[in-house]
Amino acid sequence: MTLLEATSELGGKSRRFTLGAQRIDTGPEFLTFLGIWEEYLGRWDRLGGDNHRASEIVDLVLRRLPELGTYHYRNEKCSLPVEEGHPWRPAWERYVAINAGFGPDVTLLLTSDWKDPRIRPVLGRIARLARLTAKGYLDSLPWLPKGLREIIGIHTLDAGASPRDAPALYASMPAVIATDGAWVPEGGLYELVLALAKLAEAGGAELRTEEPVERIEPGTVFAGGSVYEADIVVSDLDADRLDTLLPSARASEPKRLTPSGMALYAVLAKPLPPEVPNRTVLLPAETDAFFSSVASGEEPEQTLVFFNHYRPGEVYPNEKGTLTLQLAMPASGRSYDLDDALVVREMQRVEESLGLPLPLEGYLAEHFVLDPAYFARWGSAGGAMYGGSHPFWQIGPLHRPPYSDRRRPWLWRVGASVHPGGGVPAVLSGAMISMSRLLEKLDS
């Protein structure tokens, strides 16, 4: 078994950089649905028998974050979970009571094939959600304050969709994650990629970097000037990019794309005020206008902002603090820098919301920017995070394209554009389902 990676490092959007002698990880900020990672390790053990145990190969130390973040919507602010004494606390507790119990159900649903009889009662319980879309479900809860409804609804961006276009189950995710926890590996999220690489090598895989795949034919893969014989090909490329490498290749681009992003990563020249939380989320004042803009490929007036930072010694073995500023952007393939008008406006919003005594740039030492042009280089068209957008019934378990290709029985798919949404858990769980089907087919 040979793994071919186009770049110099494994991980895709999850990468590790050294900036000013400090460690910075890009991509996902934390891990949710811990049961999916535990299921992955359990399946690895069962496939490997008594030869190796995953716990003997990887030692991932996970730290639970105290909260999902502090959220700002217009002039309102709360943390998730909503803190004691906040006017929204009773509504939050009522919402959690209805939705938090879906955690084990979602874990089972994400890691099980649709033919698995165990998921039938799960589907029955999830069917109790009051409407088909996240917006429909949230609108059916009239006791939920508008601000809190917007904060909960913005999480459908994890599916690359607006609340109008995402399944209702995504409107339950903030309750589940706030209850079951968000976790970050000690040393940074990229430790998870390193753990997966160790497991792959222990399982007999050869990992080859800087070998971009140039063409795929039945039985043969052409990559980096080399030719590889292959009975089975498993691709994690964006679905539309994969199509251009296959026989009868055709260049295609989805009519609509999921959003992209611009991310600023920096080492701090001076510490942020002690009252600034580790994670802050700023919602656009008009969420419908924001989702409409990114769906049409136009820059929004205001966007969704994630502001994350760690102080020296927090999670990362760094002597200086680090900062990440992430902005949701249309999948335009554009390059951005700190002088772009939208970036300037959003940095000012961060300064005002956090009450910073200095402009944000005054806290930055060395920094770099990843933008839609960067993500488009190796990923989907325009840098779209999850490739093309789909109707809500084709997001999540009923995704398109499917894992396997009837016209090409030797080709299988994994990755974010095949099973969009949810970051690391969805990618891991989709890979487990796809490979379980492949192993079952090989056994038969």
> What pairs with residue 69 in β-bridges?
80
Write the pLDDT tens digit of every residue in 227-242.
999 999 999 988 888 8
Q: For residues 131-167, b (16+ Cβ closer than 10 Å) or e, as one string?
A: eebbbbbbbebeebeebbbbbbbbbbbbbbbbbbbbb
pLDDT of the residue at 190 = 96
Long-range own/partner contacts, residues 220-224 (CB < 8 A, 24 or more apart): 221/4, 223/4, 224/4
Residue 244, pLDDT above cutoff 80: yes
| Percent of the chain predicted with pLDDT > 90 | 66
Write the pLDDT tens digit of every residue in 388-416.
777 777 776 667 788 888 888 999 999 88
Q: How far is CA 57 from CA 31, 51, 187, 324, 390, in A?
A: 20, 12, 17, 31, 39
Confidence of residue 205 (pLDDT cuts 50, 70, 90): very high
Query: Which H or E element spans position 344?
Result: helix 341-354
pLDDT of the residue at 390 = 76
Least confident of 39-53, 208-222, 344-358: 39-53
Write the pLDDT tens digit of every residue in 20-57.
999 999 998 899 999 999 999 999 998 876 677 888 89
pLDDT of the residue at 128 = 63
Contact 426, 159 (CB under 8 A): no
| 44-48, 168-172, 282-286, 377-381 — most confident range | 282-286
Return the domain boundaries, the chain. Answer: 66-181, 260-378
Helix, strand or coil for residue 42?
Answer: helix
> What pairs with residue 184 in β-bridges?
63
- Beta-strand ranges (E) seen in 74-205 are 76-80, 183-185
DSSP conformation letters of 273-296:
PTTS-SEEEE--S-HHHHHHHHHH
Q: What's the burial of 73, exposed, middle or buried (CB within 10 Å: 0-12/13-18/19+)?
A: buried
**CA 100: distance to chain centroid?**
20
Write the pLDDT tens digit of every residue in 124-170.
776 666 567 899 999 999 999 999 999 999 999 988 889 998 888 88
> Looking at residues 179-204, what average pLDDT do you find?
94
> Looking at residues 291-319, what average pLDDT do you find?
94
> Looking at residues 353-377, what average pLDDT do you find?
95
pTM: 0.93
> What pairs with residue 167 in β-bridges?
133
